Amino acid sequence: MAPMDQPSAPLLTRLADYRPPDWLVPHIALNVDLDPERTRVRARLCVERRGRHGRPLILDGEELELLSLKVDGKEQPLPNHGPLTLAIAGDAATIETEVAIAPAANTRLMGLYASGGNLCTQCEPEGFRRITFFPDRPDVLARWFVRLEADAGRFPVLLSNGNPVAQGILEGGRHYAEWDDPHPKPSYLFALVAGKLRPFRDRFTTRSGRSVDLAIWVAEQDVPRCAHAMDALKQAMAFDEEVYGREYDLDVFNIVAVHDFNFGAMENKGLNIFNARYVLADPATATDVDFDSISGIVAHEYFHNWSGNRVTCRDWFQLSLKEGFTVFRDQQFSASIGSPAVKRIEEARFMRSVQFAEDAGPMAHAVQPDAYLEISNFYTPTVYNKGAELIRMMHRLMGPEAFRRATDRYFAEHDGRAATIGDFLAAMGAEGLDVGRFEPWYHQKGTPRVAARLTQNGGGTVLHLAQSNPPGGEGAPPLLIPLEVALFSPEGELLAPARLVELGEWTKEIAFPDVHGPALLSINRGFTAPVRIEPAPDRATLSRLAACDDDPFARYDALQALMMSALLDSLGAGTEVGHADVVAAVRRTLEQRGQDPAFVAEAILLPSETLVGETFDEADPAAVRAAREALRRSILSGAREELWAAFHESGAPAADLSPRAKGLRRLKGVALSALMAADEHEATAAAFLMFTDADGMTDRMAALVALASSNAVERQEALKLFRQWYGNDPTLLDKWFAVQAGSGRTDTLEAVKALTADPAYDRRNPNRVRALFLSLTGNPARFHHPEAYALLADEILALDPINPQTASRLALALARWKRLIPALGLRMKAELERIAAAPGLSRDVREVVERGLG
Ligand code: PHE
Ligand code: ZN
């Protein structure tokens, strides 16, 4: 078979076409003879016919050079292309294959590939077929035995899934290691790693007394930067025992950090592989945001051991079964070790600015999609984060005890098997969830809207709620929407304490018989449902709620809505309208900074340009930026003293990683950014001093970000120093690229062009590509320019043959052309058409481009 055969012609895969596998593979023994240029993989599969049928066994394979094929010990002729189709007479057989693959030439980073001199794998979702012939679908679970062989000098460490069972020296300077995984698993959870790695070791004893050897494997110089990830791992292991009753189930748990990786990290059984940026941290090189993402992602991958691995997905339409649930679990974990209100603010902000945007664009899909061209395109904010919000709603509707009984039931009923979202819902239903009414959430795309208004009559106050489907969702049933609601008097007195309203019909009225006289409505407190509430309350109401609400999230939300209203009022009027109410609210909020600095920092942060743009059917990013900059300057002139005080009085030693210290640093950074609104010399000088004198990366980055957007004379010097100091650290060099591409300056596009020619710009490294180009696309005022569209399209075309998954990520920004004013949107569309016309496009990019144009 030719090693270069193309993936077959684009064809939609549909949920409705799902059929259980014809053949099972109860056991696989894999023998991998590792070599970067030419690795040989011998596989022995025990296959069994499932049920009575005469259909052949079909084994997926891509870019494999087939060297030998035996069925029950008998040599077979070698077919020359496509998946292997084998007619088998009996109900069971042993299939032996030998293939050759070329990891050093694998730039897609799917299957077996080289990263920094080491070899590693990525198999989810369909990478295992690039390693050997196998039914590469998640509902085929096998027992795995793996033997690895490699040169002992180049690859002293040999890791795979499960428990280590043997290792030894071979002739010719080679060695081997054998791994046995007792838990049946699908091929997407297979992993191997070979390389020069050093362990950072620890140990964890599970509740039932199993001692687990933990190790994080990294390059020698990075060993001192593993302590934080290791702590997070141990905390996550304890959390899953306490909160979900889930224990770890192998003798070892290994994490490996690699610098070339398409996503954040991967939950391979017993051998998690991480993008190095989500492992390595110390206060000198990592920001607080980095520390928090590392804890969250380490926990996420660990939690997959149960939600994903012990119970896996039947097919890829069930992706949110493992991802939504696991994101919810990692969110609970992060809240438990940090500041819950701040964590919830960040989650809601992400949903509103990123997931709502996806749901209103060409890639909108249900949490359980019903068709895809390329499944890699569906690892999305909708599947992950909206999926997590659905789990959160169930948790809230059922209460934590019933929810826990339901997860126990789900794990018990499906352990060792491949399950569906329907199975999960059935377990919830058995513990009291009204599944019939809840389930439509999984099948409907778009963001639901809820109209809410208060009226008064002699009998008190009435809350009128009406839900409507998003465009395109006409005909779908009403959703079950849990909304936490409270009422306040205009003086800020609590009139009706928070309660959960279940809106399960198109309209509903809720009576508050004891509330007479004017009342302010606080609704969707804590973001209990991923919906838009309409209309926005008037600015006076928002000002009062921002001051008086008893819940920090709700105060945050009110202040954000107030800022948003002010921006939209200016944009609507075409001229700046008064900002006095916003300024007063910001000043009042700043006064509370002694109690909760982290909350204050989040609350006074202006809504991003992206979020403001999202509120328009057709956004004008330049106008959005102008209005937002005007508001920033008003806040600066109206709250200058308070901002300087917050800047000087906040901050904390970098070594202190407590939530309060993080909050103090965050507030210092946010205050600095506000102080830089007018490029005043006093502020830029303070920023430069903060940059040079910082005792840790959080302060240093905050200062660099502020300077990078300014016209300060200190700007160039700071960028130059940063490169000098950290140019050898890939993660920090990524930050250096990202900061420049995210700059608000008018010459940002020129800078990005120049950076693509920097010797450190490496198109084969996804982190570097994302640092430059996703920072640009996330910078609306600078991205929305025809020249930037052309630059991005060129990059997509150059990247697609190298790494289609990353190319397709970049293409998402262009696919949204309808959401821009036509002067811009049509230019984006032209670039999409140019991409669509290119020969040999990957399925990944084709799907995004076609949806964008369709
Ligand atoms: N399953 C991984 C996670 O969310 C994400 C991932 C998907 C990683 C595909 C690599 C490839 O934990
Ligand atoms: Zn995951």
What DSSP string describes 725-772? HHTT-HHHHHHHHHHHHT--STTHHHHHHHHHTSTT--TT-HHHHHHH
Ligand 1 interacting residues, C-beta cut-off 6 A: 122, 124, 262-263, 265-267, 300-301, 304, 323, 379
Query: What CA–CA distance (Å, rounded) separates 113 from 132?
Result: 14
Mean pLDDT across 641-656: 98
Mean pLDDT across 650-659: 97
Q: Which pLDDT value is given to residue 475?
A: 83
Q: Which pLDDT value is given to residue 116?
A: 96
Query: What CA–CA distance (Å, rounded) separates 505 from 166?
Result: 61
Q: Which pLDDT value is given to residue 8?
A: 47
> What pLDDT, in 10s, does the model give residues 133-155?
999 999 999 999 999 999 999 99
**One-letter-per-residue 3-state SS of 274-302:** EEHHHCCCCCCCCCHHHHHHHHHHHHHHH
Starting at the edge strand that comes first in sequence, how are the strands of the sheet with 494-503 ordered? 494-503, 481-488, 520-523
The pLDDT-based confidence of 577 (bands split at 50, 70, 90) is confident
Those residues whose beta carbon sits under 5 angstroms from the ion ligand 2 are 323, 326
Of 96, 124, 126, 301, which one is the catalytic site residue? Answer: 301
499 token code pair:
């309660």
Q: Which pLDDT value is given to residue 81?
A: 74
The residue whose CA has the least distance to atom 12 of ligand 1 is 266
Mean pLDDT across 693-722: 97
pLDDT at 763 over 60: yes
Cα 478 to ligand 1 centre (Å):
32
The residue whose CA has the least distance to atom 5 of ligand 1 is 266
Cα 187 to ligand 2 centre (Å):
16
The residue whose CA has the least distance to atom 3 of ligand 1 is 266
The residue whose CA has the least distance to atom 1 of ligand 1 is 266
The residue whose CA has the least distance to atom 11 of ligand 1 is 124
Q: Which pLDDT value is given to residue 472?
A: 74
The neighbour count for residue 718, using CB atoms within 10 Å, is: 23
Ligand 1 atom nearest residue 297's Cα: 12
Q: Which pLDDT value is given to residue 7?
A: 47
Ligand lying nearest the CA atom of residue 265: 1
The residue whose CA has the least distance to atom 2 of ligand 1 is 266
Average pLDDT, the chain: 97
pLDDT at 522 over 60: yes
301: annotated active-site residue: yes
Ligand 1 atom nearest residue 300's Cα: 12
Ligand lying nearest the CA atom of residue 264: 1
Question: What is the maximum alpha-carbon separation in the chain?
Answer: 93
Ligand lying nearest the CA atom of residue 138: 1
Cα 247 to ligand 2 centre (Å):
18
| Displacement of CA 415 from its chain's centroid (Å) | 26
189 token code pair:
């959870």
Cα 854 to ligand 1 centre (Å):
28
Ligand lying nearest the CA atom of residue 272: 1
Ligand 1 atom nearest residue 127's Cα: 11
| Displacement of CA 507 from its chain's centroid (Å) | 34
Mean pLDDT across 360-369: 97
Phi then psi for 50, rounded to 5 degrees?
A: -105, 110
Pick from 501, 431, 514: nearest CA to 467: 501
Q: Which region holds residue 432: left if phi is over 0, alpha if psi is between -120 and 50, else beta?
A: left
The pLDDT-based confidence of 80 (bands split at 50, 70, 90) is confident
Q: Which pLDDT value is given to residue 473?
A: 76
Ligand 1 atom nearest residue 125's Cα: 9
The pLDDT-based confidence of 193 (bands split at 50, 70, 90) is very high
Mean pLDDT across 428-441: 98
> What pLDDT, in 10s, does the model give residues 580-612?
999 999 999 999 998 899 999 999 999 999 999
Pocket test for ligand 1, best of 126, 190, 267 (most atoms within 8 A of CB): 267
Q: Which pLDDT value is given to residue 665?
A: 98
Instruction: Kindly state the DSSP code that residue 619 receives in the 8-state scheme.
Output: B
Q: Which pLDDT value is given to residue 578?
A: 87
pLDDT at 359 over 80: yes
How big is the CA angle at 90 (ends 87 and 93), to the nearest 5 degrees? 80
Q: Which pLDDT value is given to residue 9?
A: 52
Q: Which pLDDT value is given to residue 10?
A: 58
pLDDT at 68 over 90: yes
Q: Are strands 494-503 and 481-488 parallel, antiparallel or unpaired?
A: antiparallel
Q: Which pLDDT value is given to residue 530?
A: 98
Q: Which pLDDT value is given to residue 474?
A: 78
Pocket test for ligand 1, best of 379, 382, 806, 809 (most atoms within 8 A of CB): 379
Cα 263 to ligand 2 centre (Å):
10
Cα 265 to ligand 1 centre (Å):
6
434 token code pair:
């009204």
Cα 196 to ligand 2 centre (Å):
27
pLDDT at 5 over 50: no
Q: Which pLDDT value is given to residue 634?
A: 97
